Structure 1
Amino acid sequence: MPDSLVVSVPDARLAYAVGDVPDGVEIVEWDFQSDPPRSRIDLIVPPYMGGSSRLGRVGEVENTLVQSQSIGYDGVEDLLPDGITYANATTVHETATAELALTLTLAAQRGLPQFVRDAESGTWKSRMHPGLADKRVMILGYGGVGRAIEDRLLPFEVEVVRVASKPRSDDRGHVYGTDDLPELLPDLDIVIVVTPLTPSTAGLVGDDVLSALPDGALVVNVARGQVADTDALVSHATEGRIRLALDVTDPEPLPQDHPLWSLENVLISPHVGGASGAMLPRMAALIRRQIGHLLAGEDPENIVLRT
């Protein structure tokens, strides 16, 4: 078991949030834009925004663990040098992402985007909107975030249909597999997409899936933009068949002249699923736990890659 550790965080704000650490643990700042502050950094926490593109820099130091601030890790393996253990930020973002998924769903179902447009012109116009109660809602990608979304959906008196890569059962009942999508899609009101981006899920929400949904269905994407086929989204939304609420897009950022911006049945937020006040204290708590694991000679939490 080591008697000392060097831990790097990208900024003073996160260092302050981590707070007091055990004797022998040194916290240093490294934002990946300057030279490494030490030749050995046992636990590296990259920047939250833009850090992935510079992950190759972890090879400049002797290292035990890279602790990401994100849950998703698509494309990371190609950026990491050999010999790196990489952990994602499970436990940090599930709640905030679930909050945003529910916010986008409620906003679209109750017509908030139209009310905002009416307010800008001083127009008072009552409208009937579909609402959420009694709707059949699919969670496409049932993991930690999916379960957190389900926790928040159930009090709204909906029927939840859960789908993962493979069918299984848990304490809440049956989870369908993606092979079951053709029989499930025609009876849905809402699809909330939260599946990780993998070779098998890239483009999963394409023309076949959208065509199988009934007219007026809502698709909410809080996963990755590439999980959906953007051309198919534009086509179905332009026809008015499908409504969209998107926290992620492909490409991202979405260009200013992209047709999705101009469609009244499309609500867009700029990839802010995890961006809430809950992130900083939860990230700091995870770092403190990882320090404890390393000091005790234990395996870290949330390991998703070993290069």
Structure 2
Amino acid sequence: MKVWIPHPTGPDLLGDLPPGVTVEVVEDPARLPSAPAGVRFWVPPFLAGADATALVHELPDLEVVQLLSAGADAWAGRVPDGVTLCDARGVHDPSTAEWVVTAILAQLRGFPTLVRAQARREWAYDEVAPTDEVEGKRVLIVGAGSIGTAVRSRLAPFGVSFTLVARTPRPEQGVHGVGELPALLPEADVVVLLVPLTGQTRGLVDAGFLAAMRDGALLVNAARGPVAETDALVTELRTGRISAALDVTDPEPLPSDHPLWTMPNVLLTPHVAGSVRGLLPRAYRLVGEQVRRFAAGEPLTNAVVDGY
């Protein structure tokens, strides 16, 4: 069978594959290395666009689409019947958790203000001191999956307390349901968004959600831009009542004239939480494991069901 992957370094990262498996590199979906027939397992480019999703319908023997992203929102509902869609759950846990911790620390300790002052060659002690701190904060993690667990483990040494929320409550694990958010939001100092983008989570952070956040709270979005309603977010941030750290926006990329760029209470990064040097080795370890499972007729991991 043929396996298509998007990176020239990928074949060396897959590990040993069964006899009869041919790996070909497809960096550009517009330039294919061979005829589409026989491709049973395809790994699209990381954060691939519409051109890649269109290619899925041109592979007559395709049985598996293995994503390199933790989210499957661009692909859910767009693969043909009979094709298994798998995400890269677990691959992005360390990098995204690091970004979340970094963003929280940076915002609470006033680093964005200090970086701007450095660019002006200004000693800004009086402008920021005393800063806020992480110690003692109450952190609400909305999205209690593997990344949420990774964030919790990395933040725990900072002396914070946690509340976790998931699509389905798990009382035995102390995980609340989404329906409890109106009561939980006023108690949180930091709200971290880590949910996948689905029909249920699109626009989850609306005007009511934001209004329920306590004064001085920090919203951290490491999920997807459309999880938050941008107009409602801008309106609330303009009051200065809350602050935000955003790795994702809607639209994305953010237009240069968008008000989020210049808000002093917003830390903005260009969707880089998962883009680290360790991504490809971790991702292709997963791909190699999945190819070996598929070739052996074993169940695949990380199959996407209902967008999750």
Query: What TM-score do the two structures reach when normalised by structure 1?
Result: 0.93
Query: Residue 46 of structure 1 contacts residue 52 of structure 1 at CA under 8 Å; is this kept in 2?
Result: no
What is the aligned partner in structure 2 of residue 238 from structure 1? 238
User: Which residue number corresponds to residue 179 of structure 2?
Assistant: 179
What is the letter of the counterpart of residue 279 of structure 2? M
Paired residue for 1:221? 221
Aligned residue-pair number: 301
Instruction: Specify the alignment match of 2:24 in structure 1.
Output: 28
After superposition, give the CA deviation of every residue in 1:32-82 in whole Å (9 maximum; x if it has no partner).
121362411121111113245422212322112111111111142343233
Q: What is residue 118 of structure 1 aligned with on the other side? A: 117
After superposition, the Cα gap between the structure-2 partners of 1:278 and 1:92, relative to the gap in structure 1 and judged at 3 Å, is: same
Structure 1 or 2: more strand by fraction: 1
Stretch moving more, 224-233 or 294-303: 294-303
The residue identity in structure 1 corresponding to 2:291 is I
1:100 — aligned with what?
Answer: 99
**Alpha-carbon distance in 2 for matches of 1:225, 1:180:** 22
Instruction: Kindly state the Cα deviation for residue 142 of structure 1 after the two structures are TM-superposed.
Output: 0.8
Instruction: Please give the alpha-carbon distance, in whole angstroms, between the structure 2 residues aligned to 1:296 and 1:253.
Output: 41
Q: Retained in 1: the 8 A contact 2:210–2:236?
A: yes
Counterpart among 2, 6, 27 of residue 2 in structure 2: 6
Structure 2: runs of 5+ lacking an equivalent: none
1:264-302: CA deviation from partner (whole Å, max 9, x where unpaired): 100001111211122111111011101210221111111
For residue 34 of structure 2, what is the aligned residue in structure 1? Answer: 37
- Does structure 1 retain, via aligned residues, the 8 Å contact 2:76–2:304? no
1:1-307 mapped onto 2 (5 Å cutoff): 5-31=1-27, 32-35=29-32, 37-38=34-35, 39-51=37-49, 53-61=51-59, 62-126=61-125, 127-170=129-172, 173-304=173-304
Q: Cα distance, 1:244 vs. partner?
A: 0.6
Three-state SS of the structure 2 residue aligned to 1:27 is: strand
Task: Spell out structure 1 runs of 4+ moving beyond 6 A.
Answer: none
Percent identity among equivalent residues?
42
Residue by residue, what CA displacement relative to the aligned partner does 1:214-252 show, whole Å, maximum 9, x if unpaired?
211100000011111111111111110110100000111
Alpha-carbon contact 2:24-2:33 (below 8 Å) kept: no
The residue identity in structure 2 corresponding to 1:235 is T
Cα contact 1:56–1:81 (8 A) shared by 2: no
Report the Cα distance in structure 1 between the residues aligned to 2:248 and 2:279, rounded to whole angstroms: 18
Query: What's the secondary structure of 1:235's corresponding residue?
Result: helix
What RMSD over aligned residues (CA atoms) do the two structures have, in Å?
Answer: 1.8
**Contact residue 15 and residue 285 of structure 2 kept, 8 A:** no
Q: TM-score, normalised by structure 2?
A: 0.93
How far is 1:18 from its partner? 2.3
SS at structure 1 position matched to 2:304: strand
Output the amino acid matched with 2:160.
Answer: V
CA distance in 2, matches of 1:90, 1:148: 12
Q: Distance in 1 between matches of 2:305 and 2:142?
A: 24
Task: Determine helix, strand or coil for the equivalent of 2:174.
Answer: strand
What stretches of structure 1 of length at least 5 have no aligned partner? Answer: none
Identify which range, 182-191 or 149-158, moves more after superposition: 182-191
Whole-angstrom distance in 1 between the partners of 2:84 and 2:50? 15
- Give the secondary-structure state (helix, strand or coil) at the position aligned to 2:68: coil
CA–CA distance in 1 between the matches of 2:76 and 2:70? 14
